[in-house]
Amino acid sequence: MSRVRYTEEFKIEAVKQVVNRGYRVADVAIRLGISSHSLYQWIKLHSKPAETRQQDADLQAENRRLKAELKRVSEERDILKKATAYFARESD
């Protein structure tokens, strides 16, 4: 199941329909074919100042990078453990 990715422009326009034009979230969500939950999340996100949104995005990117690095290092550690056990048995 693949998730649909919406452009920032699409999200901003959807938020504007609720915030600036006064449409109900449910109506906008149905009209645009998105979930109400997604629209509420976009409203919450775009209510923050641009600088704060950028900091949040940077932190999320750093978190993803660190998780990937942790996974790689953990795999390397597991390989080294297995190699150590193998050579320890062989030397006996």
pLDDT, tens only, 32-70: 999 999 999 999 988 888 888 889 889 999 999 999 999
Domain, as residue range, for 64? 49-92
Burial (0-12, 13-18, 19+ Cβ within 10 Å), 23: middle
Percent of the chain with pLDDT strictly greater than 90: 72
Regarding whether 54 and 37 lie in a shared domain, the answer is no
Number of domains in the chain: 2
* Mean pLDDT of all residues belonging to the chain: 92
Regarding whether 92 and 56 lie in a shared domain, the answer is yes
Regarding whether 33 and 64 lie in a shared domain, the answer is no
Regarding whether 84 and 70 lie in a shared domain, the answer is yes
Q: Of 12, 29, 47, which closes a domain?
A: 47
Q: Which two tokens stand for residue 51?
A: 């600088």
Q: What is the DSSP string of 23-76?
A: --HHHHHHHHT--HHHHHHHHHHHTS-HHHHHHHHHHHHHHHHHHHHHHHHHHH
